[in-house]
Chain A
């Protein structure tokens, strides 16, 4: 069966510091991968998605970036965090063909102070 991991679970970072969140998927090959953010009291906002190694599409302009160095690894980064980057970050995977159900990881809660 497929499993998706995210770490760290919780992160407190000062403004201006760098960020690296990691997501890995087990039990599947060539998945589509996604990064979402859920701000307090709001829905899920798609940040990035990837259909293959090195292929990243950005949905929202911001100071975050994503990379996919390996087939089942997805990384969310920032060079300098802003206060507005605080939120709950979720990684998800789906098969590359329909049905397109996305399966989510446990999430990372990021607090920028």
Chain B
């Protein structure tokens, strides 16, 4: 059972426009959510996160919105730039016992920003 879902495998956006990447989750125990960006043959890079006690977090061009009642979060990139072209992973965290907090990842959305 997939607890974190990114239903759009790919997204194409014109340079300068807004990119909106979506993520849904099913486990109500998740209390911390993260977005990662990944280029081919590289490790994921942490982008931005949000705690379950907030509904919005902003960092430069990146904003993450959390709707707990809908179990939905989204990443907004404004304005989109060609260098933003990558695979974006949504991840959610829950305490898994014995001092460990595990992340559950979605399958990723490939963003292509067209110049």
Please list the residues of chain A having a beta carbon within 8 angstroms of any beta carbon in chain B: 6, 32, 42-44, 46, 49, 51, 55, 57, 88, 90, 92, 94, 96, 98-107, 109
A9 and chain B: residue at smallest CB distance? B41
Task: Name 28 A/B residue pairs within 8 A (Cβ), A-sorted.
Answer: A32-B100, A32-B101, A42-B107, A43-B89, A44-B89, A46-B102, A46-B103, A51-B99, A51-B100, A57-B98, A90-B43, A92-B43, A98-B32, A99-B49, A99-B51, A100-B101, A100-B103, A101-B34, A101-B46, A102-B34, A102-B46, A102-B103, A104-B43, A106-B42, A106-B43, A107-B42, A107-B43, A109-B41
Provide the residues of chain B in CB contact with A109, threshold 8 Å.
Answer: 41
Total inter-chain residue pairs, C-beta < 8 Å: 57
Q: Which of A42, A43, A100 sits near B32, CB closer than 8 Å?
A: A100
B74-115 interface (Cβ within 8 A of A): 89, 91, 93, 98-103, 105-108
